[in-house]
Amino acid sequence: MTARTELTDEALSDLTSRGYSRRSIGKVLSLFAAAPALGTALAGPAVAQEAKSMVLIGANECWTGPLAPGAKAAADAIATGNRYTGSQREAFAQALSSVEGVPTSHIMTWPGSSDPLSRIIVTYCSPTRGLVTADPTFELAGSVAQYLGVKVSKVPLKADYAHDVKAMLAADPNAGVYYICTPNNPSATLTGLPDVEWLLANKPAGSIVLLDEAYIHFSEAKPGAYLAAQNKDIIVLRTFSKLFGMAGMRLGATIARPDLMTKTMRYDGGMASFALPNPSLVCGTASLTAAGLIKARRDEMIAVRSKSLALLDKRGIEHVPSDANFFMVDWKKPAKEVQAAFAKENVAIGRSWPIWPTRSRVTVGSAAEMAAFDAAVVKLNL
């Protein structure tokens, strides 16, 4: 199954009616033809980490692979790799439905979250209806919008590092998409669901709230899927690249009222949603209901994270309180210099954001990996 190389008449009419220029329409076509590769490239600096001899704690990957039931299910699925995907997609939707309490009709599967995120921006934003994000946050939504010539309004996080939803609405009262990432990447902080509910109640008609919960399983916070079950104007993004340890297996999902995602299919039929290998689907299905293992992995991460944060506290190094498998450290000096210094110690930490040039994002790795990070902090006398 390959992506379409031209837009349908319906899709072309839709884009033209919403103010997209011929040039921007060409970009829409290239976005879907190349997705998810182009969408990932637009997100900014590459996150792939190939230096096998280094401690890799810079890309927010999980420190280990899939949960045991998922790994076994994926391995078993190899034997039936000669068959096309059949009931595996439905089984995944039923598992996610049972966990989140949403109808299966509200669930769509994707190869990660970049493709659905990109098509949501195309569908609900336009030259006349912008995008509002926090600053800093995950850049893909903003990068896609800028690529298409859509206005992007960036609103600083509040003093507690939550999204300032009232300021976000004031920044563009007629935006098409209000993007909330919680826990937020890179701050690793939560935005309370009452704030999300307020935004849903006060946003303009025809817009949506895009709730990115990539890291929700590393937190003990209540997920926002119930808002989709209530048929609100919200699309919830999920990925299995984080706690579930499936970054290389490319599995994600959207949870939303069916018509909201149907609108995003007019450009190419949502073909990427069908391009999922059986091992990824069955791995996700088996992992979703392993509640005890999910908690154990989260608890392991929190214990390891606490040791490194305690060292930073002891040395008087400021950091943002974290509800995810990463944290932001303020070195009080250019973060790029600190990142280079860590690299010389064979520790690859994450990058900084323009609004926070002295802060680095550090992924929580295994106990051994974080011990190497701690040792480098001491050796570098940070």
Domain CATH for 213: 3.40.640.10
> Average pLDDT, stretch 141-156?
96
Specify if 301 maps to a domain: yes
How many separate domains does the chain show? 2
Specify if 22 maps to a domain: yes
Report pLDDT digits (tens) over 266-290.
877 667 667 788 999 999 999 999 9
Same domain, yes or no, for 366 and 234? no
Same domain, yes or no, for 224 and 248? yes
Same domain, yes or no, for 173 and 217? yes
Question: Is 181:161 a contact under the CB 8 Å cutoff?
Answer: no
Specify if 353 maps to a domain: yes
Average of per-residue pLDDT values in the chain: 92
Which residue(s) pair with 254 in the sheet? Answer: 108, 237
Same domain, yes or no, for 300 and 182? no
Same domain, yes or no, for 282 and 296? no
User: How many CA atoms, within 13 angstroms, populate the side-chain half-sphere of residue 177?
Assistant: 30
Same domain, yes or no, for 24 and 156? yes
Domain end among 237, 262, 288: 288
Task: Please state the pTM of the whole predicted model.
Answer: 0.93
Radius of gyration of the chain (CA): 21
Same domain, yes or no, for 191 and 318? no
Domain of 248 in residue numbering reads as 9-42+68-288
Confidence category of residue 239, pLDDT binned at 50, 70, 90 = very high
Confidence category of residue 14, pLDDT binned at 50, 70, 90 = confident
Specify if 1 maps to a domain: no
- Name the H helices within the chain: 9-17, 22-34, 37-42, 68-77, 88-100, 114-124, 140-147, 165-171, 193-202, 225-229, 258-262, 278-288, 291-314, 335-344, 367-379
pLDDT computed for residue 70 by the predictor? 97
Same domain, yes or no, for 122 and 92? yes
157 phi/psi in degrees, rounded to 5: -65, 160
Report pLDDT digits (tens) over 290-300.
999 999 999 99
Report pLDDT digits (tens) over 25-79.
888 877 776 655 555 555 555 444 555 679 999 999 999 999 999 999 999 999 9
Sign of the dihedral through C-alpha 183, 187, 190, 191: negative
Report pLDDT digits (tens) over 319-353.
999 999 999 999 999 999 999 999 999 999 999 99
Q: What is the CATH number of the domain that holds 340?
A: 3.90.1150.10
Domain end among 288, 318, 349: 288
Same domain, yes or no, for 143 and 193? yes
Same domain, yes or no, for 209 and 110? yes
Rounded alpha-carbon distances, angstroms, from residue 110 to 93, 123, 194, 281: 12, 17, 28, 10
Residues 6+ apart with CB under 8 A from 195: 162, 163, 165
pLDDT computed for residue 1 by the predictor? 38
Same domain, yes or no, for 216 and 240? yes
> Average pLDDT, stretch 212-236?
97
Specify if 88 maps to a domain: yes
Domain end among 258, 288, 318: 288
pLDDT computed for residue 20 by the predictor? 87
Specify if 50 maps to a domain: no
Same domain, yes or no, for 175 and 254? yes
